[in-house]
Structure 1
Amino acid sequence: MPVKQPCSTTARAAHPPLPAADFARWQALIEQQTGVVISAQSQGFLQLALEERMRELGIFDPSHYYQRLIQGQGSAFEWSKLLAGLTVQETAFFRDPAGFDFLSHYLKQHPQQDERALMLWSVGCASGEEAYSLAITASEALGKGAAFGVLGSDINESALAKARAACYSAKRIAHLPGEFRQRYFSPSAEHGGFVVNAELAAKVCFTRLNVLALADEPFFNLDVIVCQNLLIYFRRERRFEILDQLARRLSLGGVLLIGTSEATGWQHPALAPAGAGAVQAFIRKQPGGAE
């Protein structure tokens, strides 16, 4: 979820630049509420995003919009709208092929040991492609009739609405293997594009979640947690705090898959490094140190 950067002279705010003190105040608020760091280079896009939301809401004073965000009714929804204007929601099905190959092998080697359904979590799922990719991977690795569920979470309500709709353009699924397109997607005359088949979609649910509030969330005993292309946009210390929270939520033998550059210097006593090359993963140790 990279922060948008200025790339042309057309990306200019309609009003004079924010005073330095006001920009610093907005920087602090956005980082406090979402963890996203707005650099000085992104000031123009911050101002554009603010002006767009204020125009849509009929607000003329930035201080009034600021108050709406920190205490107004529906502020969670408003944060979603503002972040959508500030960040690039870049995602794709099987965006990290090496990572999904690793997960497929892991799932084949770690079949269900009891009647409990395997649980997989896509943290920062955006419009759902990663979550459905996890569901396809689990379905292929575990076989027909396997009991599993996938949770997708994101702070952006607009992105989550797209994820729940489970409808994607032909272009979005064009790179998938033909057997995946045939097995897991159906043409939609009503919506255009292709919808995820009902049987697979029923295994996937979505919820709004701010990763800064992980300590308050009831998600535990996860077998797979995927958190990629998200933490790199947080400060190092906050990254480590989030990773510590995710580690606590793994089941014994569960795997945490993250981006290759998102955990430099991070360690957790309950986790053992796994994966190699383009894959950075950790497995929660079994009692006695076994993986």
Structure 2
Amino acid sequence: MKTQTLTTLSALVLGATIASSAWADEGQAEVGPAKAAKESTHFTDYLDRDTVLGGKFSTWVELASDYVFRGESETNDGKIPSIKAAITWTHSSGIYLGYYGANNLFPGDDAEGNNPHINAVWGPYVGYATNDIAGTGINYNGMFFQYVYPGDRDSNYLEMFNYIDKQFGRFNLKLEYSPTITDWFGVEDLQSHNVAIHPSWLLPYGFTISGGVGYQFFDNSGPSLDANGDGKEDIDWVHWNVGLSRNVYGFNVDVRYHDTDIKKGEHDFYGFDSNHQIVDDRVMIAVSKSF
């Protein structure tokens, strides 16, 4: 009787072992701690991947003595240093999207001569870049950027940047046309256009000299913008810059001179004692890094 019972138990254990092996062989997932450990490994493997949905992420940061955009200081004549950052996801097809942010300081009417409502600009962007179009060596990069001013949403607007460039040995020539899609700074029926040329030259010892000359002009089908009352709208301007840059200890260091043709007392946007300082000529230094 005892021998028969042991035989029966042995058969049951063997049967359970075989069934367990068959269950595992049929691809059934583990349960309990083993399952949790395996899923955790899969999750961390996913986090460690270089690509997400066929694209890769990159980041860019910059610290500068000023924030100059088309000849105008966006930190109220360099009252505060400029900090910029962007994160971009780029697909192998050339499509990219990301988010940009920076601090800024506009002239205004508070006790310190600043605009108390605007101290930052950020926003999303989406674009497409392609190289060597039809074997010509010409490259294109187009991007929509939504300016968001968190303290003054009425000033938000959308702009499209368009660049074509071509390399000629050590010399690169880039052309730009950038129109606004919505009203510039929220000014009713005011459309902005910027056309510019951006040459650069690779110098010996890793230095690059680069610059730009641009013309910011407007189409105004809204209210009169003759702010100084001289009978005509002076709202367009020319801006230019030239600078020297080099990689230093993994950082890009850029020293640049900026200026415009805006004259005090004549320009209807930046010709006044309260804001002309932001379009004066200036030298700025910037240190940036991409990851």
TM-score category (smaller protein): under 0.3
**Which one has a larger percent strand, Structure 1 or Structure 2?**
2
Q: TM-score w.r.t. structure 1 length?
A: 0.26
**Which one has a larger percent helix, Structure 1 or Structure 2?**
1
Based on CA coordinates, which of the two structures has the bigger radius of gyration? 2
Q: TM-score w.r.t. structure 2 length?
A: 0.26
Higher RCO (C-alpha 8 Å, min separation 6):
1
